[in-house]
Structure formats: structure tokens, C-alpha cells
Chain A
Amino acid sequence: MTWVLRMFSTSIGKKQLMAVTGLLFLLFLTTHLLGNLSIYGGSPAFVAYAEHLHALGKLLVVAEVGLVVALIIHVTLAVILFFENRRSRPVKYAVDKSGGGGRTFSSRTMPYTGLLILGFIVVHLTTFSHHIVDQTTRNIFQIAVAVFSQKLYLAIYLLGVLVVAFHVRHGLWSAFQTVGANHPKYMPFIQKLSIVFAVIVAIGFGSLPLAILALR
């Protein structure tokens, strides 16, 4: 099986692992948002969604372990790729600009938005995860109200969501390109989908704390 390791240690192999794990996170973001949108059905609907999710039991554990493994792969490769790419140009340009307009704000900030997201995940899990926060005395809605009532956490959350949106805006189409899914008929749609998905993430998740605070 060493051939597998050798294939995935090539530049394309590493990028494709980044792409596949990234696509997995996009799938997670989609289900996470769809589930959390239950808040618009009022606090009982939101609490019921959380209870149903936790009732999945072992299935939920499998999903969590899968996400953690994907996160470790994604972050490890990101660090390796970041330093390899820095090393590939030892002398920088005196004039360094994107005159042709290939780079976007999202594409050039990917390593930094990625790092911020990692920090955000830590804060987010320590404030909400049922593994860390005791949910026996308070339900998830009451926990959310308590967290978002603190201006600092509200600001971190909103900023985190915005950073995720920028990361996704380059990540989505980039993942398709890296796994080879570039087609003259579908690529323009995928590139637009990248922007639309980013906006949905920003507005969708960004509106959640405001809805929670309005419902309290």
C-alpha cells in the first residue's frame, strides 16, 4: 500500500486530499445550516432538532470522527502546502500585484482564513458542543441565548461566519477544479455557485444568533 502514500504525497495528490476533505466540510456546512434553520420554527422546534440529532447515537459519533479525521488531514496538508509554496519563491518580486485579475481576495487569503476558522471551531465547540457544555440543566436554545447575549461571543461568531464564507467562496470551485471536474458547460455554474454558497453561508448562519436573540 506504499503506492497510495506515494501517490498522495505528490503535489496533485495532496491537493486532491485537500479538495475531497474540503468538499466534505461543505456537505457538513449544508446539513449544519439546514438543521439550525429550525430555529425559525421557534425554540421548541430548535430543541427538538437537537434532541433528534443526539438520538442518532453511534451514527453521530461516526460522523464526528469522520469530520475530525478530515479536519486533521485538511489542516496538516494546508500547513505543508503553505510552507512548500513559500519555499518555491525564495526571492520575492519588488512589484507584486495581480494586474491580470486572476487572484481574488478569497484565493489570496485562504491560508489565513483557514487558520482563523480553526480558531473559530475551537471557540464554537467549547461554547456549544454537547461533549463540552452540559445540556442536562439547560436546553440548546437557553445555551445559545446565554452565549449570544455576550457581545464578545456574538462578535466572534459573526466574524467567524464571515471568514468561513470567504474561505468557501474560493474553496468550492477550487475543489471541483482540483478533482478534475472542470467542464465548459458546468464550470461557469460551479463558479457562480461558489459565490452563492458563500452568501448563503454568511446570511444563513449570520442570521441565527439574531433570530435566537429575537426569540428569547
Chain B
Amino acid sequence: MSGKTINLTLKVWRQPGAKAPGRLETYRAENISTDASFLEMLDIVNEGLTLEGKEPVAFDHDCREGICGMCGSVVNGRPHGPERETTLCQLHMRHFADGDTVVIEPFRARALPVVKDLVVDRSALDQVMAAGGFISVNTGQAPEANSLPVPKDKADLAMDAAACIGCGACIAACPNASAMLFTSAKVSQFALLPHGRPEAARRALAMLAQMDACGFGNCTNHQECEVECPKGISISNIARLNREFIKAALGSAEELPVIK
């Protein structure tokens, strides 16, 4: 433990409810250990607010180990803050300097509406998954592991895509609030493996149709998603989804599902 502490000025988005208007409020974060995580810093600020009889800042968090995809706010214009491939819970205060002003905003997208303060509703991502982010298998005994050979390079790529924790930082970072990196990672993790091929065309069209219906923007290849993704998901997955779309749209009998 270094024992070093810093003082910060926070500008935090406060919004009492989904329909209520919000605004940036200024708070002091004092004597913050540089060993604290960003969320721990918010916990400390919230303790102070509670003692003052004020409403603490609501923010998303769960595992605090960087694997659940629950946390994430936009810190000084960057989802999950300034560190590459780091979730907000794994971001430490040593990356900030004494006297810094830190602006904390919720993820902004029509498809991810604010519930309260920094908490956003990410149901849209679940809807995209429910539309086709699975494989259909009959129940019964587990098949012999080597009956379906999977090349190592494909397994690696599928694993890289599956590393997506569904936090939504790609949408928050995208100038168009597009969910293409998320959807393409979820399509890729199945499309790359033999288990996912039988339903590949139906899956690509269903997840795309749902993604469009949720009101996300269109990808214009700014690459902001890739640089802000806490799991380093590559935009080559987006190209793969584009290819899967061509195969499904022009090379299969599958129809684009109608989303109500």
C-alpha cells in the first residue's frame, strides 16, 4: 500500500428517474486512496452523501472483478475511463492526479435509457441475445468431445469473441450508438464453431433484425468501439457479421424475421 491520497472534483450526472430531467452535480471526493478502485471511490463519496442526508449516486456494479459486464459509466468522455481493456471496477485511482476534475455520465443511447443517475437499462442487449444468441441442442448425454473437430485458430477466435461481457461500452463509445461490436461478437462466437453453423444464417438475421428494432444506430466504422472495449473485442468480428449477413441474405432460404 502506497498510502498516497488524492482529492478530486466530481461532476456526476444526477437524474431521479427515467422520465425526470437530469443535470451534472458537483461533488468533492477527498482523501481518496490511489489504491482504491473507481467504484470504491464512488462508494466513499456516497458514504459522505448519505451522512449529509443526501441521496447517494446510483451506479451499476456487481462482481467488481471485471467479468460480469454490469459496471460502466462514461468518465471524462470515455466509457470505463481512460485505461485500455479495463472495466470501471478494475480502474484504479492511481490513474488520476490530485486536483483532477472528473466528469461521470451514464452510457448514452436511445436503446439504453437511463433508469436513475448512472444506471442504464441494458435489456436491449438481452433481447438481441434472446433473438438468436444460442444453439439448439437436444438434451441427453454429453457427446464425445472429439466427435466434432475444431481447429485451434477457430477456437481461439471464438473464445476472443466470447470474451464480450455485454457491458455496452461499445454502444456508449460509438458516435452512432451502434451495437454492431456487441452483436457481431455474439454472432461470431457461434459462427466460428461447427456447433453454431447449422443455425448461422437464421441467427445472423434474427439478431440483426432485433438489433435494428431496438433503435441502435448504424455502424460507420469509426473504430471507437474497439478502442474502448474492456475485453479488446476486434472489429474484425463486425466484418464477420457483415459476411454472415451476405451469406444469410443472399445464400440461404432464411427470411428476415419480423420484430413487433
Contact = CB atoms under 8 A, between A and B. Distances in A.
Contacts of A3: 255-256
A12 B242 contact: yes
Interface string A64-92: 00000000000000000100110111111
B108 A103 contact: no
A95 B76 contact: yes
A94 interface: yes
Contact of A102 (B226, B236, B243, B249): B226
Contact of A91 (B77, B108, B178, B238): B108
Given A102-B227, A177-B238, A93 B220 contact: no
Given A88-B176, A94-B24, A81 B110 contact: no
A6 B226 CA distance: 29
A110 interface: yes
Interface stretch (B31-39, B54-62, B158-166, B205-213): B205-213
A88 B214 CA distance: 10
Contact of A81 (B111, B220, B241): B220
A83 to B, nearest CB: 10
A11 B221 contact: no
Nearest to B234: A182
B225 A95 contact: no
A41 interface: no
Interface stretch (A13-21, A30-38, A46-54, A148-156): A13-21
B48 interface: no
Query: What secondary structure prevails in chain B residues at the interface with A?
Result: mixed
A103 B77 contact: no
B224 A98 contact: yes
A122 to B, nearest CB: 25
B94 to A, nearest CB: 18
Interface string A93-112: 11111111111000110100
B108 A180 contact: no
A101 B224 CA distance: 7
Interface string A152-172: 000000000000000000100
B227 A10 contact: no
Contacts of A108: 175, 222
A184 B236 contact: yes
Nearest to B239: A182
B218 A84 contact: yes
Interface in B211-260: 211-212, 215-228, 235-236, 238-243, 245-246, 249-250, 255-256
A13 B215 CA distance: 16
Given A93-B74, A95-B105, A180-B240, A102 B173 contact: yes
Contacts of A177: 221, 235, 238-239, 242
Nearest to B24: A94
A179 interface: yes
Given A3-B256, A178-B242, A92 B218 contact: no
B221 A107 contact: yes
Nearest to B227: A100
A181 interface: yes
B22 to A, nearest CB: 8
Contact of A87 (B77, B110, B224): B110
9 contacts: A7-B249, A11-B180, A88-B111, A89-B109, A91-B108, A94-B13, A94-B105, A96-B77, A99-B76
Interface of B: 11, 13, 24, 74, 76-78, 82, 84, 103, 105, 108-111, 114, 173, 175-178, 180, 208-209, 211-212, 215-228, 235-236, 238-243, 245-246, 249-250, 255-256
Given A88-B109, A94-B11, A99-B77, 7 more contacts: A11-B180, A81-B220, A89-B108, A89-B110, A107-B220, A178-B239, A182-B239
